Structure formats: C-alpha cells, structure tokens
Amino acid sequence: GDSVTQMEGPVTLSEEACLTINCTYTATGYPSLFWYVQYPGEGLQLLLKATKADDKGSNKGFEATYRKETTSFHLEKGSVQVSDSAVYFCALDLTGNQFYFGTGTSLTVIP
Amino acid sequence: DGGITQSPKYLFRKEGQNVTLSCEQNLNHDAMYWYRQDPGQGLRLIYYSQIVNDFQKGDIAEGYSVSREKKESFPLTVTSAQKNPTAFYLCASSIAGDSQPQHFGDGTRLSIL
C-alpha cells in the first residue's frame, strides 16, 4: 500500500551544521509530497511541497527535491539554527482525500 | 492497540446544517488538533487543545467550533457559517511538551450536498 518512510530521530546538531532528513515513499499513482514542521507547543505547519517529479520545494532555507526515480523527498538545509529545533514530518497526498505521514523526526540544534 | 479514531470516513450533509466530526484517542495524549486539507494546499490548522477544557484557534477557525470536555475526545463542529466546508478533515494528538510528534487519525471526508 501507499506509505511514507522517514528517517528516525532524534537528531542533534550543532548550530551551522548541515541537515539531511531522509524520506522515501511508496505510492501507486503520482503523489504530491510535503514536509511539515511542528514547533514546540504548536500545530503542524507546512514547510514546503512539490507536486510533480523533479520539482524542488524550498522555504526558510530548507529544500527538498521530488525524485521519482528513487521515490525520495529528502529534506536538506545547509546551515541549521537553534530556531530550527522542531519535529519534521514527511507526507504524501495521492488524491486530495488521504494523507500518509511519516513518523516524524525530532531535531534539536544546540548553540 | 492505541490510536486515534475518526468517524465516519465519509460524511454528507445538506447545506445550512451543522455537522459534528468525531475524534477519539486512547493514547492518553494531552494535546489534540484538527486540520483541514484542500487539494494542493496541504494541511491547515483549525483548532488545537493542549489540555482538557482549554482550546485555541488555529489559522482558519472561522465557521468551526470545538469542545474538550474529556481528554480522549475532541469533536469538531462545522457550522453553517463555514462558507466552503467540503474538505478532508484530519485529527491528531500528541503528548504534551516539546518535540513530541503527533499521531494522526485516518481522516473524514466531508461533502456538502
């Protein structure tokens, strides 16, 4: 069935380090892919998205490229900040009627 | 098994009627959330509750109401004031506190006839 597999955490990085959070998916059709972020004490917020193969989503210094050949949508940032500490979710939307979420990756950035 | 139950999976109502979507969790989570998803837009936060008898508006609370009388239940009412209620609604819960990932229900698809 359709699913999302996300790198397990927690991840702890020093400020200005590079970040990669892996996400791969299984889908029978042509999904839209999303990264959501959950800051402490808040609900989910959309971080970025890509709706077709080779699209690159970007926001707040984060990027992810929709790779159909490897069924991946890895989240990357070149230099993380303390304020990036949060839980990150990869998600897949096939039809607009059903979302599939990864289990979430907790990121802590230390000064 | 612990989890979040949203019911029903598909719901149809006539225009002008209020409708209540059910969300129940047996994970002993303090925090619960309601999101709305429209095609191509991703999730948007409607309401959230960090503790029983308390809740806060999210980004798109207009036309919706919630209650949190019990820890395990967070029903969402879509009122007639909501101009475009047809959407996919997702409930979530989490342990209270920082960096605790949310767990999600299977969602309810609401269609207004």
Q: How confident is the model at residue B83 (pLDDT cuts 50, 70, 90)?
A: confident
Residues B1 and B91: their CA atoms lie apart, in Å, by 18
Q: Which of B94, B92, B111, B87 is nearest to B38 (CA)?
A: B87
Q: How confident is the model at residue B1 (pLDDT cuts 50, 70, 90)?
A: low
Token pair, residue A73, equals 């949508």
Query: What residues of B are in contact with residue A87 (Cβ under 8 Å)?
Result: 99-102
Q: Are B100 and A87 in contact (CB < 8 Å)?
A: yes
Q: Are B101 and A106 in contact (CB < 8 Å)?
A: yes
Residues A102 and A35: their CA atoms lie apart, in Å, by 10
- Select, from the ranges A97-101, B20-24, B88-92, the one with the highest average predicted confidence (pLDDT): B20-24
Residues of chain A with pLDDT under 50: none
- DSSP string over A63-81: EEE-BTTTTB--EEESS--
Give residue for tokens 């008898």. B53
Residue B90 has pLDDT above 80, yes or no: yes
Residues of B with CB under 8 A from a CB of A: 33, 35, 37-40, 42-45, 48, 50, 58, 88, 90, 92, 97-102, 104, 106-107, 109
